[in-house]
Amino acid sequence: MERRTEEAARRWLADQGVRQVGDGWVSDERPDVLLTAHQVAQSWAGDVFAEDLDAADRLRLAFGLLGLLDDYWVTCEIRFANESAEGPLPADVLWDGYRQLLEADRDVEAVTYSLWVDWFEDRTTSATAFAEVLGNDIDRVVAEGSEALLRRARRVLECSGPVRWTVKEPTYRTVMRLPALHSAVFRGLLASFHDVYGDLEPAAALALLDQLDLPTNTQHLAQLRHVLAAGHKNRHRSPGAWEAGVRQAEPAAAVVERHLPES
């Protein structure tokens, strides 16, 4: 499906007079000027939603562009269309598009960034977004454990810091059954503490942290344990707490390092 939508997007761009050349793009209007993927996205992505297609097909075409260009601006145009007078966009196509790209075996930074800043940091959309990209089918993810499903879960967990604790905690607990995702849960907990909009409950987060199967010398592990044990919920609401945790952890880290086997 992903490859088909990208090829459809490539054909659509060709109809607009835009084609890929090496590492860049050129337009028929200025064939001597090499364009970046970002420039293509800014100039043409919004036009997708003016096409004489139904809303679902326009959205699929937009996701094809997102997969092809891997540029955050395409996600902005999707969001603009979703919030426009003609919106909202078909939810099944919207979230299926995100899930497919999150499972892709390549870098999808534009997708994870969009998920984080556009959907998870917005309290009006974070619960729905988290449920759609992971929470609703977490039992299947854990039971099947395919590489594609694990990629999606890992990417979602790592940027889930802003999602309300009551929304994400059940998913975190389910993921505990799968050691392959423990590092992603740790990064989710770390982001929950550090993100400006991060959310966690210290006691519950500490209980999860203590169950994670992580290397003893995992960076920031001791510091995170310290701030959670002290009852801190967020770095930005507890000025100096993380720095105190760093100082507290340094002696323990030195002891651990002395006892690590030589390489």
127-150 confidence digits (pLDDT tens):
999 999 999 999 999 999 999 999
What sign does the dihedral 217-223-227-229 (CA atoms) show?
Answer: positive
For CA atoms 96, 155, 115, 176, the dihedral sign is: positive
pTM to 2 decimals? 0.90
User: What's the rounded Cα separation, in Å, for the pair 206 and 186?
Assistant: 11
Domain boundaries, the chain: 2-213
- Residue 21: in which H helix or E strand, if any? strand 18-21
Non-local (6+) Cβ contacts of 187 within 8 A are 157, 158
Q: Is the dihedral of CA 118, 120, 122, 125 positive or negative?
A: positive
Are 220 and 190 in contact by the 8 Å Cβ rule? The answer is yes
| Interval 26-51: pLDDT, tens | 999 999 999 999 999 999 999 999 99
Residue type, 197: Y
Tell me how far apart the alpha carbons of residues 213 and 182 are, in angstroms, rounded to a whole number. 6
> Six-digit token pair at 116?
């984080």
Does the structure show a pLDDT above 50 at 263?
no
